[in-house]
Structure formats: structure tokens, C-alpha cells
Structure 1
Amino acid sequence: MWRTLLAISSTLLMIGSIEAAQVYKWVDAQGVTHFSAQPPTTGEADALTLKPAPGISGSSGSSSGADAVNNPQQQIIDQKIKQEIKQTEKQREDYCKSARTNLAQLRNNPRVMVEAGRGEMRRLTEEERQQRISETEFAIHKNCD
């Protein structure tokens, strides 16, 4: 969910520097609404055309893309967004690496032990192990590919 909020907030912050840009809106299988500059690889998306943000009061009636680029506040916002995107990408890479490692462990070890509570360990049944394998494969496919 935090990825969705980050994507939406990043999109909204960057709108000020976008001149009539194309944005796609779609709802995933979990019912979460997404906004992106690229359409989703699968499924349908609504194409939205964004209009330039209204000018700041007290400024001249016409604004150009160069004004947004030269605006120090906009540059600070852009820099923060880039940092957030880098941080999110790093977290996604770490998650994917961990998920792939877990999947390899689940596939290669039929006797997987998990914590059962109070520090006790128990062995996963074959059915539970297969369920975790399919859940991990789905998560990797959804978030990493």
C-alpha cells in the first residue's frame, strides 16, 4: 500500500512541471488504483491527459516549462522525489532478492522448519510448503519481473 501512496504522491508533486502529459490510471486485481506514465503490461487502463497546473497568484499570466525547471522550490521537490524513487527501488530490489532466496530454500529443502510460537519450531507439511512456494512465486512475478 505504501508503494501506491508513494506513486500517487510522486505523480501529484510532479504535475507542476508536466505540460499536458499522458497518464494512465488502472485498478489492479486487489482493487488498488494506480497512476503511471506507462500503461500496465496487462489489463485495461484509462488514459488521462493532464493539463498544466494553474499559475501561482501574483505571477505573470503565462508560464512555461522553463519556469518550472528554474523554480528552486520545484527543483527541491524534484530532488526529493528522485531520492524517494531511488529508496523505493532499493527496497524493492532487497525484497526481490530475499523472495528469490526464500523460494530457492523452499524448493530445495523438503524439510522446512518454521517458528510455531513461543520459540518452538515445527516442520512444514508438504502441502504448506507447496502453498508457500506458489505464494512466493506469485509475489516475485507481481513485484520483481
Structure 2
Amino acid sequence: MHSCATLVRPMTAHRPLACLFIAISGLLFASSATAQVYTWKDASGRVHYSDQPPPNGDNKPAKAAPAAKYAPATPEPAASQSGAAAQPDTKPPAATQSGPKTWQEKDLEAKQKRAADQEAEAKRKQEADRADEKKRYCESLRNNLTMLERGGRVTTTNAAGERIFLDDSQLKQEAERTRVQLSRDCK
């Protein structure tokens, strides 16, 4: 048989540390269990529960803190004025001002930024192409005007595809028409 002395263990150095740890854990648990829980509705009618006050500053503590702490945050059905059932919200949830953005919101923003950057790059390229085309057009008009003012034997093609030499009056008319185009299109 064992004696009473062998069944009772002597107090070791680890036992006070274990008791201290249990006491501190109990205090921490008790303080977190009594933390205040806030509840509020956002603009879309969703009910939120949090230990942080709402972002709009409406500090309204929840009535049943322990039960509300574990209640799912589901939107309450809103009755429309016509009496019909409420339509489901198809928009992505708006980011709350009190917390960080979710990965879905960050991903959506990144995709939107990439699309906007691609659109801006395409627009910039299109404008650069237009500017190059206008530059070539204006250079061609200036070269034609120089050739017409210089005179000499200048030909053009008629509707039948035959080459026709321009006389001095026709050269002046073509030069004037080219000057008008230059002043209108190439400022």
C-alpha cells in the first residue's frame, strides 16, 4: 500500500508559474468577454457587429452583446413601397471606412486601373497617329504648293486617266486652292 505522503506530490518550482499563467489567462479572458460590441446598419441596410465603433460615429452599443457577437451579419429584408419582395443587391459590397479593403476589392481596383491605363495608352497612340498623319498631309501640301509656284511643266490626270499639262492660269488656280487648304488644315 501507498502511504499518503507518496500520493501527495511536493510543490515544485513549476507549479507557481503554472498558477500565475492560469490566473493571467483568466483575467484576459474575462476582460475580452466584457468588451463592448457595437451594431449598426450601413447605407445598403446591412447590419454590422463589431468591437470597434461604426465609421459614421454613431456609437450605439448592441443590446445583447454575447449573442450579437456570434450572430451572422445578414441584411434584414427591406419592404418596398409596392409590397413586392426586395430585389437582391447585385453591386459589390462597398468598402467600409473602418477596415482594410478585401482582396476582392483590391483585385477589382487593380483590374479597373489596368483597363484605364490600357484605354489611356490606346487613346495616346491614336492621337500620336493622327498627329503624324496630319504632319505628312501638311508636308505634302507644302511640297505641292512649292512645285506649283515654281511653274514649269506640271501635269494632272483627268477622269479618263489621261495626263493633261496645266497652263499658267490653271497653275495659279491650283496654287490658290492649295494655299486655302494649307491655311485651313495646317495651322
Q: TM-score, normalised by structure 1?
A: 0.49
Point out the structure with the larger strand share: 1
Larger radius of gyration: 2
Greater relative CO, 1 or 2 (CA 8 Å, sep 6+) = 1
Q: TM-score, normalised by structure 2?
A: 0.39
